[in-house]
Structures are given as structure tokens and as C-alpha cells.
Amino acid sequence: MAGETVARGLGLARPGPRTSLGIIWTVFLARLRIILRYKGAILGESLLPVVFAGLPILLGIAVAGDEQTAAENFFRTTAGAGQGASDFRLYMLLGSNTFMVVSLMLWLIGYWVRREQETGTLEALYLAPAKRLHVLAGVTSYTLVRALIAFVSAMVIGSIVFQVNPLAGNFPAALGYLILGIPALWGISFIFGALILRIKEANSVIQLLQWVLAFAMGVYFPVTVFPALVRYAAMAFPPTLMNDAMRSTLLGLTSIYGPWYIVLGLMLMAAWTVPLLGYEFFLAVERRIKKDQGVGQF
């Protein structure tokens, strides 16, 4: 009798598709409502990529002596690495904007796990009649919306500040690559969330990974400048692929991965496999933690 009333560990609750969508929507709405109380955060996320792009631009001009020489030197360096970017301002802006999207996705998932742990609500969430996948889908949808808002607004602000025109290239295709890159980012976010669940030190791990990401993604320079081993490791990283796909589309550069159909194929593959792997990893870590000390300990 008891077995009949228990639906997959969810007690008496029987979640159908409508309930599942309801969970995703409720979590999404809850996160959105919280962040809407802190409008400054949204503004900060829009300005941050402009600052990140501004630093190497100012630095580059200082090193080269003047803007023209900076552009020539940067073109020569990137050409040597197989690309040849003439507009270094747009190159930096795109790199830092994509970096912001990736970074935000990781930050928000990591901090969500950590905050729930600290406020003592993570265990309660596990006891609620809701599947983890749906809760995670709600949180990741929220991170996606927040990251896209930051991307678009930073692009607009950055274009005005640095006087570049991102619409000169194939903008819809670049946006398509960005959207296609999101599922892989979700997958990485799940892995990241699992890491935070396990090692708990969200702040330091996020801060460290942020800079590892910036390095691996080739935010300020193509990853082909790295030695072979580091280069291949960086190229196997999905955000690097997304960054390169967007940058080569918008700036009319040769992708470091090859022709466009290879880039598209790799992106589709990443969009299919990384979320599955990420979710499996999350579940495996979660199972282990539940067996040991439980998810509530921090």
C-alpha cells in the first residue's frame, strides 16, 4: 500500500508535466524577484565587461605608444597565431562580454548552492516534492536570462564607449552561436555546482576559476599563443569554442577550430553531451554527499 502511494521518493506528490513546468517557473520567478530587489547588481554586470575590455585596451595603447601602433602590433600578433584581428577594441569587448556570460553562469549556480547551504534551506529543498532537475532547470534559466541581459547591455554600452560597431559582422549568427553554447554552459554549471556542494569554498573556487576561465577562453588573445598542451586543453573547453565561434563570426576571422561547419558541429556536440555529463556528475557527487554527511553541512 505504502509503495503505491509513494511516487519515486516524492511521497504523495505525483509530479506531472504541468507540475514540473510549475517548479521550473516558480524557481525562476523566485530568483528573478530576489535579484530585482538589487538593481545595482544588474547595472554592475553590464558595466563590468566594459571595464574588463577597457583594461587591456588602455594597457595595449600604453605598451605600443599610440593607438595605430597598438592596432598594427595586435594584428601582427594575432596573425602569427592564425587569425589577424584588425579591430582590437571589438576583439577585447567580445572576449570580455562572452567571459562575463560564462562567469555569471558559474557564479550564479555556485552561489545559489552555497547560499542555500549557508541559510540552511538546501536540505529543506531536498525534502520538497520536487525533482532536482527541475529546480536546477529553474535556476539555470534564471542565470541564462541574467547573463543575456548583461551581454546585450554590455555590448551596447561597450560599443558606445569604444566606438565599435558589432553589427558590422554577422551579428545574428554570432548570437546563434551564443545561444547554442548555453547548454554546454549549463553542463559546466552543474559540474561547478557539484564542486561547490563537495568542497564548499564557493568564494575562492569561483574567484580562482574565473581567472582560469579568462586564460583558457582566450579573452584577450587567441589561445593558439599557448604551448601545445595548454592550447589543446584550452581548445577542448566549451566556452573557448563559443568565444572563438562568436568572435570569428563577428570579426570575420578564421576560427582556430577550422571552417564554420566544423565549428557548428563541435558546438552541437558540446550542446548535446556536456549538459548530460554535467548532470550525471552532479547526481553522482550529490549521492556521495548524501551517503556521507548530508547536503546541509557547510
Partner 1 sequence: MHRGFGLARGGLRQYVETFVDMSKKVFVEYSRYPIAFIALFVQIFLIILLFIFSAFAFSSGEPGDPRVTTFAGMMAYGFVTNIFLSFTLWEVGFSIREEQVRGTLESLYLSPTNKFSNLLSRIFMILSWTTIMCAAGLGLVSVVMGGLPASNVGMGLLILVFTISGFLGLGFLFAGITIRLKETAQILVSFFQFFFMIFSAQFFPFSVLPQPVLDYISRWLPVSYAVDLFRTTLLGIPPELMPGNYWLEFLIVALFGIVSPVLGYFGYRAVERKARSAGTLGEY
The stretch among 163-171, 216-224, 258-266, 279-287 that binds partner 1 (CB under 8 A) is: 216-224
Closest by Cα among 291, 90, 286, 85 to 190: 286
**Residue of 41, 149, 157, 175 that binds partner 1 (CB under 8 A):** 41
Choose between 118 and 292: whose C-beta lies nearer to partner 1: 118
Question: How far, in Å, are 96, 108, 240, 271, 278 from residue 217 at the CA level?
Answer: 10, 19, 4, 17, 19
What gap in Å lies between CA 97 and CA 6, rounded to an integer? 47
Distance, C-alpha 220 to centroid of its chain: 17
What gap in Å lies between CA 71 and CA 84, rounded to an integer? 10
The stretch among 55-63, 123-131, 247-255, 262-270 that binds partner 1 (CB under 8 A) is: 55-63
Q: How far is the CB of 64 from partner 1 (least distance, A)?
A: 5
Query: Interface with partner 1 includes 76 (CB under 8 A)?
Result: yes
Query: Interface with partner 1 includes 124 (CB under 8 A)?
Result: no
Question: How far, in Å, are 38, 217, 248, 277 from residue 267 at the CA level?
Answer: 34, 15, 14, 15
Classified as helix, coil or strand, 195 is helix
Distance, C-alpha 265 to centroid of its chain: 20
Q: How far is the CB of 54 from partner 1 (least distance, A)?
A: 7
Binding mask 184-203 for partner 1 (x = CB under 8 A): ---------------xxx-x
How many residues make contact with partner 1 (CB under 8 A)? Answer: 45
Q: Residues in the site for partner 1, rule: CB under 8 A?
A: 37-38, 40-41, 43-44, 47-48, 51, 54-56, 58-65, 70, 73-74, 76-78, 88, 118-119, 199-201, 203-205, 207-208, 211-212, 214-215, 219-221, 225
